[in-house]
Amino acid sequence: MTTTHRHQSRRKLDVSSLVLLILSVVAGALSYYLITQGISALVMIPSIVAATVAVTHLTKYEAPRD
């Protein structure tokens, strides 16, 4: 099923996804530090998943309000 977007709809930044992306980058940096200290690389997986979800939901289409 394909969703069509009318010309009246506009793209808007999703602030909660932006915050999630920033937090996941910080968590990824902390995970990288822990990996260099000898911790398992699996500690980085949650931050990668959170960053992926945040990037895919970063913008949203908003319908015009009448």
Is it the case that residue 57 has pLDDT exceeding 70?
Answer: yes
* Residue pLDDT, tens place only, 1-35: 666 655 677 889 999 999 999 999 999 999 999 99
pLDDT of residue 3: 64
Which has more confidence, 62 or 33?
A: 33
Which has more confidence, 7 or 40?
A: 40
The rounded distance, in Å, linking the Cα atoms of 36 and 40 is: 9
Is it the case that residue 38 has pLDDT exceeding 90?
Answer: yes
The rounded distance, in Å, linking the Cα atoms of 21 and 19 is: 5
Label residue 3 left, alpha or beta by phi (over 0 means left) and psi (-120 to 50 means alpha): beta
Is it the case that residue 53 has pLDDT exceeding 70?
Answer: yes
Domain locations in the chain as residue ranges: 11-60
